[in-house]
Chains A and B, each alone.
Chain A
Amino acid sequence: MATETHAAAGTAADAAHGAASAPGMPQLDFSTWGNQIFWLSITLVVIYFVLSRIALPRIGAVLSERQGTIMKDIAAAEDLKAKAIEAEKAYDKALADARAEANRIAGEARAAIQADLDVAIAKADTEIAAKTAEGEKAIAAIRASAVESVAAVANDTAEAIVASMGGKADAKAIAAAVTARMKG
């Protein structure tokens, strides 16, 4: 310490004096009290004015300003959050609208296709019905002619059998018998 070297010369000189007058505890050497109290009061006054005039108002201002900034930032953040929520809502709404539109278009397309299909099916059904009717008519004609042919064959066969057995065939009776058989 600079003081030590500085005071070293003086210390040597007043060593004898100090040893003679100062009691064992330097704290109880009342001859130094006035000096200490004088300098202490200057120190305290200086510290008090520096703190109360400059430092403390400044730090207080900085702290309250920071508090204000933080409050403002929090408010701004909340504002932004609200905006974000609003935007999300709008986006959701647009999405829902688009979805509904798409559903509507798809439904329309489906309905149109269904209508076309119905028409085509109906047409095909009528055609099929006509073809079926024709076919049935042809089958009925064929069946009728077949029955006639069977009756004629049966008559002929019956005449021939009767003739071969030596009897004289009554054409009327044979025809009646064949008709009765074919019905049974």
Chain B
Amino acid sequence: MEGQLAHIGAGLAAIGSGAAAIGVGNVAGNFLAGALRNPSAAASQTATLFIGIAFAEALGIFSFLVALLLMFAV
């Protein structure tokens, strides 16, 4: 019973991956919108883009980690 609850929890934690996907999409989409308005400034901001994506994705990875812990470690 406890193991099954852990699996349910893991599934719930996996929702966080979708939330992180929204975040990454927001970052990339806004970068693209800005880049199309001012293409000359876009090249200098790709590093910022990747840093932003990395921060957004890290939180999704955290939720993935929680899911894994619930699946395998509990």
Residues of chain A at the chain B interface (Cβ within 8 Å): 23-25, 28
11 A-B pairs within 8 Å (CB atoms) are namely A23-B72, A23-B73, A24-B71, A24-B72, A24-B73, A25-B68, A25-B69, A25-B72, A25-B73, A28-B69, A28-B73
Chain B: interface size category: under 10
CA distance A25 to B69 in the complex (A): 8
CA distance A43 to B72 in the complex (A): 30
Chain B contact residues: helix, strand, loop or mixed? helix
Which residues on the A side are within 8 Å of B71 (C-beta)? Answer: 24
Which residues on the A side are within 8 Å of B73 (C-beta)? Answer: 23-25, 28
Number of A-B contacts (CB under 8 A): 11
Chain A proximity mask over B26-50: 1 for CB below 8 Å, otherwise 0: 0000000000000000000000000
Which residues on the A side are within 8 Å of B72 (C-beta)? Answer: 23-25
CA distance A24 to B67 in the complex (A): 12
Chain A contact residues: helix, strand, loop or mixed? loop
CA distance A23 to B72 in the complex (A): 7
CA distance A25 to B68 in the complex (A): 8
Which residues on the A side are within 8 Å of B68 (C-beta)? Answer: 25
Which residues on the B side are within 8 Å of A28 (C-beta)? Answer: 69, 73
Chain A proximity mask over B43-74: 1 for CB below 8 Å, otherwise 0: 00000000000000000000000001101110
In the A-B complex, list the 6 residue pairs whose CB atoms are closest, starting with the nearest: A24-B72, A25-B72, A24-B73, A23-B73, A25-B73, A28-B73
Which residues on the B side are within 8 Å of A23 (C-beta)? Answer: 72-73
CA distance A28 to B72 in the complex (A): 10
- Nearest chain A CB to B9 CB, angstrom units: 14
- Nearest chain B CB to A61 CB, angstrom units: 28
CB nearest to A23 among chain B residues: B73
Given contacts A23-B73, A25-B68, A25-B72, 8 further A-B contacts (CB under 8 A): A23-B72, A24-B71, A24-B72, A24-B73, A25-B69, A25-B73, A28-B69, A28-B73
- Nearest chain A CB to B73 CB, angstrom units: 5
